[in-house]
Amino acid sequence: MNQFQLKESIQDLENQTNGIKTVMQLMGDSKNEIESTVVDSLITFVIEDHHFGLDMTTLQEALQNGELSVLKDNDLRTSLYSLLKYNERLEQREEIANYDNNNFNIPFLYKKINSRNISARVNGEYRAEIGYSKLETNNFESLFGNREFENLVESRLYYAKEMMTNYQKMESFLDYLHDILGKKE
């Protein structure tokens, strides 16, 4: 992953965090205040998984075959070891957040919303090909008055904020490594 992709990931996560905050602010609102087209797009923020996607294969291979240990620059060698460890911890946190999302948030929402209608509303191609459901439409007033949903969204907000902090730390760390390598040229 290059630095541009990292900045894109951070921007996507910032958008997700803002969307989740908006969902939290809608909790307890009356039906008149909850417009389904807006909620449809906001719901997608609640169920997005976190995937940073930093490819560490080359660095892991260098570690395994001993190439990292022969680097003469102690600062660079230590930083590369630290990068591997930090990325490993970040992936573990993503895995936990995504597990909770896939095992709690998504199953809960499958019982409470009509995802076909959401897909049709937010995606014109899907709407043209598949269309809207003939089954019960979404009852967002009930959803936004549900304490379990509020708790699920709150935990998702917590994870999104945690991931944002981790991604920004990774960005700073990669900038630092870039500076170290730039001094070597």
pLDDT in tens, 95-130: 999 999 999 999 999 998 888 888 888 889 999 999
- State yes or no: pLDDT of 73 exceeds 80: no
Residues in the chain, how many? 185
State the chain's maximal CA–CA distance in angstroms: 67
- State yes or no: pLDDT of 36 exceeds 70: no
The letter for the amino acid at 19 is G
Q: Which pLDDT belongs to residue 104?
A: 96
How would residue 184 be classed by pLDDT, with cut points 50, 70 and 90? low
Span 143-156, average pLDDT:
94
Orientation angle between helical segments 74-100 and 147-184, nearest 10 degrees: 160
- C-alpha 42/C-alpha 22 separation (Å) is 8
- C-alpha 145/C-alpha 44 separation (Å) is 18
Helices (H), the chain: 3-26, 36-47, 57-64, 74-100, 106-112, 115-122, 124-129, 140-143, 147-184
pLDDT tens readout for residues 6-16:
888 899 999 99
Residue 17 structure tokens: 């965090």
- DSSP secondary structure letter of residue 31: G
Q: What is the CA 103 to chain-centroid distance, rounded?
A: 15
